[in-house]
Each structure stands twice: as C-alpha cells, then as structure tokens.
C-alpha cells in the first residue's frame, strides 16, 4: 500500500491495479502474475526462507532466501516496473543493460524510500557489504575483462541475473552485483541532473548519455 501511494505521487493520472493473493502450490518460478484483472501474488512463496517445504522442493538457497514477507513490496514493484517500462530497459551492451536494470532499482527506491538497501535489493547484509566495499574493484574487474561494452549476453549474464555468487573465490558476491553498479550510475546521474523527473529517466534509452552524465568514478 505504501509503495503504491508513492507511485501515485509520481504518476497521479495512473490507476492502481488491484492485488489478489492466492495459494500457488509453491510455484517459485512465477510467484507474481500480471493479468488484466490486476496483480496476482502467490502468498505461499513468502512464508520465510526457513519454511521446510522450500527445502523439500530443493529450491536453490539463493532463491529461497528471498521468500520473506518483507521483500513483497520491492519484488512486486520490480516486476511492476519491468512490465510498465519493458520497452526502455534493454540495450546492446552489458553497460546498457546494467543501466537499464539500475533504472529499475532507482525506481524501487523511489517507491519504498525508507527500506534499507539490503532488503530493497534482496541481498544479505554480507552481500550488501561486499557490493559497497568492492564497488571500485568490481568495476575495475569488469573493465579489465572488457565486459562493459560486450554484446555477448552469455559472457556477462551472471553479473546481472540472480545466482549464488559472481565469484567462486568470494562467496559473498551476489549474482546481481552488476545491477548494483548500474543503480549507482543511475543514482549519480540523477543527483547531477535534479531537473530530470523519474518518468523521464525511466523512458530514456540513451544509455550512453546517462553514463556520460553520471561521471561515474567509483
């Protein structure tokens, strides 16, 4: 309710979709469904990460750790934003897609401004700490590996998609660590350009201009 109140502030002419909950039968691959009737939420996918049926189904821990009720708001708003702005999120390179996904995380922050970063990203405290303390080193790693301007999704998707970690040598590095970098780029861009509205950001597909305007230097 609080998240959609914030949404109504930024988009006053939009209607708020009704939200229904149901027992999904532990459908962890699609816990949230968007339909013509509204948002349909599989409430049994948020019983807590230690819920024994999740373990019996052998759901990977990097997924089941998110099955907590405090994550419902950011997860719903993330999927909602991906639906609403689907035409404005993807680019040709890794950097483009980092920024596209970073826009989503910036949007979520606007919807749930009082939520701590780790909960908003669905990172553990250790994973969040890793992102913050390794930001410069991680950026350097992506640069040295020539990944930022790569157009080969296979070579960089592990940095943007959910996973147990991005480096087997550093188990606290979350699978979506690249999205965190994208968020930081977007956040710096918006701080340097306060006249740009949230909606103008979300529909902007000039990812190079966003990166250039951010002057990002971790």
65: number of Cβ within 10 Å: 18
27 φψ region: left (φ > 0), alpha (ψ -120 to 50), beta (else): beta
**Which tens digits make up the pLDDT trace of 48-70?**
999 999 999 999 998 999 999 99
Max Cα distance, the chain (Å): 51
Q: What is the pLDDT of residue 168?
A: 59
Element (H, E) at 75: helix 72-84
Give the tens place of pLDDT for each residue, 7-51. Answer: 999 999 999 999 999 999 999 888 999 988 999 999 999 999 999
CB-count burial class (<10 Å; 0-12, 13-18, 19+) for 93: middle
| H-run or E-run covering 20 | strand 19-22
Lowest mean pLDDT among 76-80, 90-94, 162-166: 162-166
pLDDT band at residue 169, thresholds of 50, 70 and 90?
A: low
* Ramachandran angles phi, psi of 70, nearest 5°: -70, -15
pTM given for the model: 0.94
Nearest to 101 by CA among 42, 59, 45, 159: 159
């Amino acid at each position: 309710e609080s998240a959609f109140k914030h949404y109504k502030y930024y988009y006053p002419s939009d209607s708020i979709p009704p939200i229904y909950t149901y027992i999904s039968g532990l459908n962890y691959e699609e816990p949230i469904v968007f339909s013509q009737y509204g948002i349909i939420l599989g409430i049994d996918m948020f019983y807590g990460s230690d819920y024994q049926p999740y373990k019996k189904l052998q759901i990977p821990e990097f997924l089941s750790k998110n099955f907590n009720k405090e994550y419902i708001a950011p997860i719903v708003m993330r999927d909602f934003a991906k639906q609403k702005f689907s035409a404005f999120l993807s680019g040709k390179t890794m950097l483009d897609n980092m920024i596209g996904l970073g826009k989503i995380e910036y949007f979520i922050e606007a919807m749930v401004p009082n939520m701590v970063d780790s909960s908003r990203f669905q990172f553990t405290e250790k994973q969040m700490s890793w992102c913050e303390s390794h930001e410069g080193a991680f950026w350097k790693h992506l640069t040295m590996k020539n990944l930022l301007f790569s157009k080969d999704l296979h070579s960089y998707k592990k940095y943007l998609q959910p996973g147990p970690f991005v480096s087997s040598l550093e188990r606290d590095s979350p699978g979506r660590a690249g999205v965190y970098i994208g968020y930081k780029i977007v956040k710096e861009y918006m701080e340097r350009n306060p006249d740009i509205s949230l909606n103008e950001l979300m529909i902007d597909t000039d990812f190079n201009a966003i990166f250039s305007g951010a002057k990002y230097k971790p």
